[in-house]
Amino acid sequence: MGVVPAVGPAPRRRLRSGTVVLLAGLGAVLAIGVVSVLVAVQRADGPAPATLNGVNVPAAPPPPVVTHVITYELSGTGTARNVTYVGKGAAIEQVAQAGAPWSVTVEGSAARYVSLTAQHAGEGTLTCHILVDGVAVSSSTVSTPEAMLRCSKSLD
């Protein structure tokens, strides 16, 4: 008869360091994924951005759009260059040269500020007027050649 080998525990295999790193990385990715899903579910169950402590708060209505009829006028005995004013939609409009009397009306303007500027181009006097809905809101006069003439008003 021969010798019977002793039966003992099987030798253990050691994991290589690359395998350990790979398993640790997969575990970290799995943990981050689970946390992300939990946070997303919690956000979905929370109050909507338009609520306050879960109570619906109605949105404020938009402010009404106030429109005006604005009339810009130049009067007197002079001539003006570079007549600049606030037009419809708050656009800046310009006329290269205008003799007095001159006027323009902007209907339906939602401008919050009205302005008329011009440069006196010669002798005489030049006066600017701004009327908002038929009411005079600004007026100015110059008589010096090359002087700047300005009328303006905030409508707030």
Cα Rg for the chain, rounded, in angstroms? 40
In the prediction, which pLDDT does 135 show?
95
Closest CA to 120 of 83, 80, 63, 151: 80
DSSP assignment letter at 10: P
Residue at 117 is within a domain? yes
* Model confidence at 18: pLDDT above 60: yes
Closest CA to 110 of 47, 45, 66, 48: 66
Q: What span, in angstroms and rounded, lies between the C-alpha atoms of 3 and 11? A: 21
Residue at 3 is within a domain? no
Average pLDDT value for the chain: 84
Comparing 38 with 83, the larger pLDDT belongs to 83
* Model confidence at 84: pLDDT above 70: yes
* Model confidence at 25: pLDDT above 90: no
Are 25 and 80 within one domain? no
Residue at 97 is within a domain? yes
Are 87 and 28 within one domain? no
For the chain, the domain total comes to 2
Comparing 20 with 88, the larger pLDDT belongs to 88
In the prediction, which pLDDT does 98 show?
94
* Model confidence at 48: pLDDT above 90: no
Residue at 131 is within a domain? yes
% of the chain exceeding 90 in pLDDT = 44
pTM metric for this prediction: 0.60
Residue at 4 is within a domain? no
pLDDT digits (tens, 9 = 90+) for 107-154: 988 888 999 999 999 889 999 999 999 999 999 999 999 999 999 999
Say how many Å lie between the first and final Cα of the chain, rounded. Answer: 116
Domain with 123 in it: what CATH number? 2.60.40.2880
* Model confidence at 72: pLDDT above 80: yes
Q: Contact at 8 Å (CB) between 65 and 112? A: no
Domain membership of residue 75 as a residue range: 68-154
